[in-house]
Amino acid sequence: MDGEQGPEYFNVLLEDGTVIGRTNNTPAQCGNSETIFTNITIAQINQSAGSNSLITFFLVPNLVEGQPGRFSVNDICGGSSVEATLSFKTLIPQDIRYEYQINEGEKVTIYTPFTHHSSTTHRR
Protein backbone atom coordinates (compact mmCIF):
# COMPACT_ATOMS: atom_id res chain seq x y z
CA MET A 1 0.00 0.00 0.00
CA ASP A 2 1.18 3.51 -0.72
CA GLY A 3 0.94 4.91 2.78
CA GLU A 4 4.39 6.11 3.83
CA GLN A 5 3.82 9.88 3.82
CA GLY A 6 2.32 11.78 6.76
CA PRO A 7 -1.17 12.36 5.32
CA GLU A 8 -1.43 8.84 3.81
CA TYR A 9 -3.53 6.95 6.34
CA PHE A 10 -7.02 5.60 6.98
CA ASN A 11 -9.34 6.86 9.70
CA VAL A 12 -10.95 3.84 11.37
CA LEU A 13 -14.60 4.25 12.30
CA LEU A 14 -17.24 2.18 14.02
CA GLU A 15 -20.60 1.71 12.33
CA ASP A 16 -22.08 4.73 14.13
CA GLY A 17 -19.32 6.99 12.80
CA THR A 18 -17.24 7.05 15.99
CA VAL A 19 -13.58 7.46 15.04
CA ILE A 20 -11.49 4.97 17.02
CA GLY A 21 -8.19 6.09 15.53
CA ARG A 22 -6.07 6.12 12.40
CA THR A 23 -3.78 3.60 10.80
CA ASN A 24 -0.02 3.90 11.07
CA ASN A 25 2.01 4.90 8.04
CA THR A 26 4.02 2.26 6.18
CA PRO A 27 7.83 2.45 6.46
CA ALA A 28 8.19 2.71 2.67
CA GLN A 29 6.05 3.03 -0.44
CA CYS A 30 4.33 -0.31 -1.14
CA GLY A 31 5.04 -1.36 2.45
CA ASN A 32 3.05 -2.81 5.32
CA SER A 33 2.09 -1.38 8.68
CA GLU A 34 0.37 -2.63 11.80
CA THR A 35 -2.01 -0.61 13.92
CA ILE A 36 -3.44 -1.80 17.24
CA PHE A 37 -6.40 -0.14 18.91
CA THR A 38 -6.95 -0.78 22.60
CA ASN A 39 -9.38 2.08 23.18
CA ILE A 40 -12.56 0.30 22.05
CA THR A 41 -14.83 -0.31 25.04
CA ILE A 42 -17.12 -3.25 25.65
CA ALA A 43 -20.04 -0.80 25.51
CA GLN A 44 -18.96 0.35 22.02
CA ILE A 45 -18.64 -3.25 20.80
CA ASN A 46 -22.07 -4.13 22.20
CA GLN A 47 -23.65 -0.99 20.73
CA SER A 48 -22.00 -1.64 17.36
CA ALA A 49 -23.27 -5.23 17.37
CA GLY A 50 -26.77 -3.92 18.02
CA SER A 51 -29.76 -6.04 17.12
CA ASN A 52 -28.09 -7.75 14.15
CA SER A 53 -25.02 -8.97 16.12
CA LEU A 54 -22.66 -7.58 13.45
CA ILE A 55 -19.66 -5.38 14.19
CA THR A 56 -18.66 -3.21 11.25
CA PHE A 57 -15.47 -1.17 10.94
CA PHE A 58 -14.88 1.36 8.16
CA LEU A 59 -11.49 2.47 6.83
CA VAL A 60 -11.89 5.95 5.38
CA PRO A 61 -8.88 7.45 3.57
CA ASN A 62 -7.62 10.79 4.84
CA LEU A 63 -8.17 13.09 1.88
CA VAL A 64 -5.81 16.05 1.61
CA GLU A 65 -7.96 19.04 0.72
CA GLY A 66 -7.08 20.60 -2.63
CA GLN A 67 -4.63 17.82 -3.54
CA PRO A 68 -5.01 14.94 -6.04
CA GLY A 69 -5.62 11.41 -4.75
CA ARG A 70 -1.93 10.50 -4.92
CA PHE A 71 -1.41 12.61 -1.78
CA SER A 72 -3.73 10.28 0.17
CA VAL A 73 -3.32 6.59 0.95
CA ASN A 74 -3.84 4.77 -2.36
CA ASP A 75 -3.38 1.52 -4.28
CA ILE A 76 -0.61 2.67 -6.63
CA CYS A 77 1.28 -0.51 -5.70
CA GLY A 78 -1.58 -2.78 -6.85
CA GLY A 79 -3.01 -5.71 -4.93
CA SER A 80 -3.19 -3.83 -1.63
CA SER A 81 -5.25 -5.39 1.12
CA VAL A 82 -6.24 -4.92 4.74
CA GLU A 83 -6.25 -7.60 7.41
CA ALA A 84 -8.32 -6.97 10.52
CA THR A 85 -8.21 -8.97 13.72
CA LEU A 86 -10.76 -8.56 16.50
CA SER A 87 -9.57 -10.17 19.73
CA PHE A 88 -11.64 -10.45 22.87
CA LYS A 89 -11.92 -12.47 26.05
CA THR A 90 -15.11 -14.20 27.01
CA LEU A 91 -16.34 -16.85 29.42
CA ILE A 92 -18.81 -19.21 27.83
CA PRO A 93 -21.46 -20.84 30.02
CA GLN A 94 -22.06 -24.45 29.04
CA ASP A 95 -25.63 -23.85 27.88
CA ILE A 96 -24.79 -20.98 25.48
CA ARG A 97 -23.35 -21.41 22.01
CA TYR A 98 -21.33 -18.54 20.54
CA GLU A 99 -20.90 -18.13 16.81
CA TYR A 100 -19.37 -15.53 14.57
CA GLN A 101 -19.62 -14.93 10.84
CA ILE A 102 -17.57 -12.62 8.64
CA ASN A 103 -19.50 -11.13 5.73
CA GLU A 104 -21.17 -14.00 3.90
CA GLY A 105 -18.66 -16.55 5.18
CA GLU A 106 -19.34 -19.72 7.06
CA LYS A 107 -20.53 -19.51 10.68
CA VAL A 108 -17.85 -20.54 13.16
CA THR A 109 -18.77 -21.83 16.62
CA ILE A 110 -16.54 -20.83 19.53
CA TYR A 111 -16.20 -23.60 22.11
CA THR A 112 -13.39 -22.36 24.38
CA PRO A 113 -13.75 -19.97 27.35
CA PHE A 114 -10.34 -18.51 26.56
CA THR A 115 -9.37 -15.59 24.35
CA HIS A 116 -10.53 -16.21 20.81
CA HIS A 117 -8.69 -14.68 17.87
CA SER A 118 -10.31 -14.11 14.53
CA SER A 119 -8.92 -12.52 11.41
CA THR A 120 -9.99 -12.01 7.86
CA THR A 121 -8.41 -10.36 4.87
CA HIS A 122 -10.46 -8.17 2.59
CA ARG A 123 -9.04 -7.24 -0.80
CA ARG A 124 -10.09 -4.27 -2.91
Query: What does the pLDDT read at residue 124?
Result: 43
pTM above 0.85, yes or no: no
Query: What does the pLDDT read at residue 113?
Result: 52
Query: What does the pLDDT read at residue 123?
Result: 46
CA distances from 61 to 9, 23, 117 (A): 6, 10, 26
pLDDT in tens for each of the 124 residues of the chain? 788 888 999 999 998 899 999 999 999 988 889 999 888 888 888 888 887 888 888 999 999 889 888 888 888 888 888 888 887 776 656 667 778 888 888 888 876 554 444 554 544 4
Each domain of the chain, given as residue ranges in start order, spans 10-123
Query: What does the pLDDT read at residue 39?
Result: 85
Residues sharing a CB contact under 8 Å with residue 88, sequence separation 6 or more, in sequence order? 45, 115, 116
